[in-house]
Amino acid sequence: MLGGAFKGLRKPVSLVVEDAEEGDVSHLADIHREGFTQAWSDGELAKLIANDSYFCLVAREKGKSGKPPSAFVLVRTAADEAEVITIATRKSVRRKGAARQLLDAAVRKLQADRAISLFLEVDENNDPAISLYRKLGFKTVGERKGYYASQDREKPSTALVMQRDLG
């Protein structure tokens, strides 16, 4: 179990990062819905979490037993490479270090498993996420034009492919 206290822009919050549990699924679906217009159902998330090629870490407020997760990251592994499938933080807890702690913990876990490279895709318009990934050492290594469709935009937007070495 990995923990730490971080001062956010508002109230400081202490978080603990741990493996997701079966009972977290509906909360994770809620968090995903808050962060993405194309949300996943409880069933879709449960299936991914149960898949051996994936792992899911959650961040909970420390010292509150049974507290639902405030954020989560879902990672897929394949041989010595891995991909961040999704990461999201509840709106009420954003900018308090949850996503950073989750990615740091995922990187440590992957390094322990001898993975060498971590990839992700992010909408070129998603400034908070791009800023987070750059801060954690990810570099843009490619792009997929017209990748993300959105009702709010006329044209689908480009996905940046970002990568970080784990060695």
Number of Cβ atoms within 10 Å of the Cβ of 51 = 11
Q: Give the span between the Cα atoms of 91 and 80, in whole angstroms.
A: 33
Which of 119, 167 has the CB closer to ligand COA?
119
For residue 114, the minimal CB distance to ligand COA (Å) is 25
Which of 58, 98 has the CB closer to ligand COA?
98
Which of 36, 146 has the CB closer to ligand COA?
36
For residue 88, the minimal CB distance to ligand COA (Å) is 4
For residue 95, the minimal CB distance to ligand COA (Å) is 5
Which of 46, 132 has the CB closer to ligand COA?
132
Local structure of 59: helix, strand or coil: strand
Name the site residues for ligand COA (rule: CB under 6 A): 35-36, 71, 87-89, 94-100, 122, 126-129, 131-132, 135
- Exposure b/e, 57-89, CB count within 10 A at least 16 = b: bbbbbeeeeeebbbbbbbbebeeeebbbebbbb
For residue 6, the minimal CB distance to ligand COA (Å) is 8
Asked if residues 119 and 162 have their Cβ atoms less than 8 Å apart, the reply is yes
